[in-house]
Amino acid sequence: MEKTCARFDLVSGVVLLQIVGIYKYIPTLCYNHSMQSTKETVLELARQKGILRARDLVGQNLSRVTLSRLVSEGHLIQLSRGLYSLPDRVVTQQDNLAEVAIKYPNSVFCLLTALQIHGLTTQSPHQVWLAIDVKARLPRMDYPPLKVVRFSSEALEAGAESVRIDGVVSVLVTSIEKTIVDCFKYRNKIGHDIAIEALQEAWRSKRMSMDKIWEYATICRVSNVMRPYLESLNG
């Protein structure tokens, strides 16, 4: 009987030790499961958005540390500070614009880039044309290359409208009328012929308001410059 009890105590002790050992690993197992679930959530978010911002995780109650781990594991790539995407995503011109807009939300796409967005030019600019306030800090990015133009506060706000890139990211771009006026104002930078071509194409396709053109021409002080070209359209 004593041997039986001793054997039972020994077996019970082994079982107890095994149970204690299992419980010791439970927190680790739970943490690993939670981390894997968080990673999957972040990757799904990246698939949905195309370009993922670090601050996007805040609204989802997700840790930004996950981004660094996914980058080190090769599941994400870091485009620039605070911006990430899936490694197999094909980078397009729209992605470049979205990246600039996300990093500099108070800037406005203008001139040649705005013409491209509105489909008023066949040219593909090698730089992203960006309007900023006269007092704003100069934007800096390794890629894409930026061509920055400083606008007065009034000129920057006039005609700035929000459009969606790839249906995901909202960006600010000068309206068709404001873009045309800017092209005449900065004709020495982009070429006089491009300004005239944009005006004629917008008029031909009935995509511009003459009243808006005059409004923005007054703000940008190019009414006299544009007058003969506008009058020739009505003639």
Q: List, for residues 55-86, the tens digit of each pLDDT value.
A: 777 777 777 788 788 888 888 888 767 778 78
Is pLDDT at 53 greater than 60 in this prediction? yes
Q: What is the mean pLDDT of residues 156-172?
A: 83
Which of the four pLDDT bands, split at 50, 70 and 90, describes residue 8? very low
CB 180 within 8 Å of CB 195:
yes
Range(s) within the chain of domains with CATH label 3.30.460: 93-234
Between CA 98 and CA 49 the distance in angstroms is: 11
CATH of region 93-234, choose from 1.10.20, 1.20.950, 3.30.460, 2.40.160:
3.30.460
DSSP 8-state secondary structure symbol assigned to residue 123: -
Pairing of strands 146-151, 128-133: parallel
Q: Which of residues 27 and 155 earns the better pLDDT score? A: 155
The pLDDT of residue 168 = 59
CB 217 within 8 Å of CB 223:
yes
Query: Distances from the Cα of 100 to the Cαs of 56, 81, 146, in angstroms?
Result: 16, 12, 9
The pLDDT of residue 91 = 63
Prediction pTM value: 0.69
Q: Taking all residues of the chain, what is their mean pLDDT, rounded to a whole number?
A: 81
Catalogue the E-assigned strands of 120-224: 128-133, 146-151, 160-165, 169-174
Q: Which of residues 125 and 114 earns the better pLDDT score? A: 114
Is pLDDT at 145 greater than 50 in this prediction? yes
Is pLDDT at 25 greater than 50 in this prediction? no
Is pLDDT at 27 greater than 80 in this prediction? no
Query: Distances from the Cα of 144 to the Cαs of 61, 103, 171, in angstroms?
Result: 31, 12, 16
Q: Is the dihedral of CA 228, 153, 198, 140 positive or negative?
A: positive
The pLDDT of residue 153 = 93
The pLDDT of residue 176 = 97
